[in-house]
Amino acid sequence: MSADASSNHVRSVLPAAAVVELVEAVLAADLPEIVAAGHPVLRRPAQDFDGQLDDDTLNRLIATMRRVMHEAPGVGLAAPQIGIPLRIAVLEDQGVRDPAVAEVRSRTPLPFTVLINPSYEAAGDAVAAFYEGCLSVPGYQAVVERPHRITATYAQPNGRTVTTDFEGWPARIVQHETDHLDGQLYLDRAILRSLTADTEHARWAQPTIDDARRGLGF
């Protein structure tokens, strides 16, 4: 696991006109495709959003990202995942129906949230480990250990900057998507011995990772 996977990459900065042209090209698709691991846009830190898009274009981009996320389906999507190198991500999670699973995973519903230029830091020493998947790495999941509680600072579409505490599963989603904006994939942080194909995931799809730990030896 490398926490510095993107440190050797220089953040490329596109002129505003080029950003607009790229966004409009993506928005012209009926449903933009999610780019897969191996595409350079996923390995370069995204550039800050600082008004390159007017309000209408920004709102259309956010709406499109939300639709792509739902169609996938997923609980988070970063702009680089549809080929746009801007620090924008959308999140939304309805949670799970089984209250026992929800409790052990701290998976509470996360209302639709837009992160613009986000950053986060751990709030306390508690950590949690569980399987994560990624829409840009289809077919696999792996265990990632992350801070259980974080404090995130980000701008909203209206330009207001807020600082919010997240914990449990919502905190995991925020961290996963913010990492995308830093040119990182969850595999950079994963316990690789836990890597599991989706076809095998049902064997380990328990409320905790205890069975997977014993079976895979991590």
Q: Which of 33, 145, 177, 200 is catalytic?
A: 177
- Assign 3-state DSSP to the chain and report helix, strand, coil percentages, each to 5: 35, 30, 40
Give the CA distances from residue 137 to residues 35, 37, 83, 192, 215, in Å, rounded to whole numbers and listed in that order: 9, 6, 15, 14, 23
CA–CA dist 122, 146 (Å, integer): 9
Q: State yes or no: 134 annotated in a binding site.
A: yes
Asked about 121 being catalytic, the answer comes back as no
Element (H, E) at 21: helix 16-27
180 known member of a binding site: yes
Q: How far apart are CA 23 and CA 141, in angstroms?
A: 30
Which residues are CB-neighbours of 210 under 8 A, at least 6 positions away?
A: none
User: Is residue 70 part of an annotated ligand binding site?
Assistant: no
Asked whether 63 and 99 are in contact (CB, 8 A), the reply is no
Q: What is residue 52's DSSP assignment? A: S
Residues in the annotated binding site for Fe cation = 134, 176, 180
Catalytic sites, residue numbers: 177
